[in-house]
Amino acid sequence: MPLKESSDELNPPVLTTGVSLARARASRTATDYLALALATCGVGYLPLAPGTWGSLVGVGVYLLWQLLRLWLPVVFDNLWTALTFALVFGITMIGIWAATRVEKISGRKDPGIVVIDEVAGQLIALSVIPFFVWSQWQLILAGFLL
């Protein structure tokens, strides 16, 4: 017996024919392509473990963000913490929009190509790691593996 999720009531299944799917592909807008690009992060279409690759993108974004922090004086640590949480919140909100749009485009609930949720999840997990990134590589690895 399949497990029914509470969100299934909000997204009733829609039956479509192959002809209408082809027509839908041809009529995609620039916003649809933007949503696909943001939701897949460039790795969602990889045939092997796209979610894992999405998590690696999240680790990469975190490391780049921490490299930017090296240029700021220590005085701005509190500001940087606030900016980090704003970044995580922004990526999460953009991810919700993009993933919802891709669900509508693909006609499938939680399509495998959507990996922005893995990116946001990694950023949430890694955002609490102390500033000294290079001495904390074990914590970054643990955040990725767990």
DSSP 56-125: HHHHHHHHHHHHHHTTS-GGGHHHHHHHHHHHHHHHHHHHHHHHHHHHHHHTSSS-TT--HHHHHHHHHH
Number of domains into which the chain is organized: 1
- Distance (Å, rounded) from C-alpha 146 to C-alpha 143? 5
5 found inside a domain: no
Residue 97's domain spans which residues? 16-145
Instruction: Give the burial class of 126: count Cβ atoms within 10 A of its Cβ; 0-12 exposed, 13-18 middle, 19 or more buried.
Output: buried
42 found inside a domain: yes
123 found inside a domain: yes
6 found inside a domain: no
Looking at residue 34, its pLDDT comes to 92
117 found inside a domain: yes
Mean pLDDT of the region 46-58: 90
Q: What is the mean pLDDT of the chain?
A: 81
63 found inside a domain: yes
> Phi then psi for 145, rounded to 5 degrees?
-75, -30
Please report which confidence band the pLDDT of residue 107 belongs to, taking 50, 70 and 90 as the band edges.
Answer: confident
2 found inside a domain: no
Contact criterion met (CB below 8 Å) for 118 and 49: no
Mean pLDDT of the region 31-52: 89
> Phi then psi for 8, rounded to 5 degrees?
-65, -30
Looking at residue 74, its pLDDT comes to 76
Choice between 130 and 95, residue whose per-residue pLDDT is larger: 95
4 found inside a domain: no
**pTM of the complete model:** 0.73
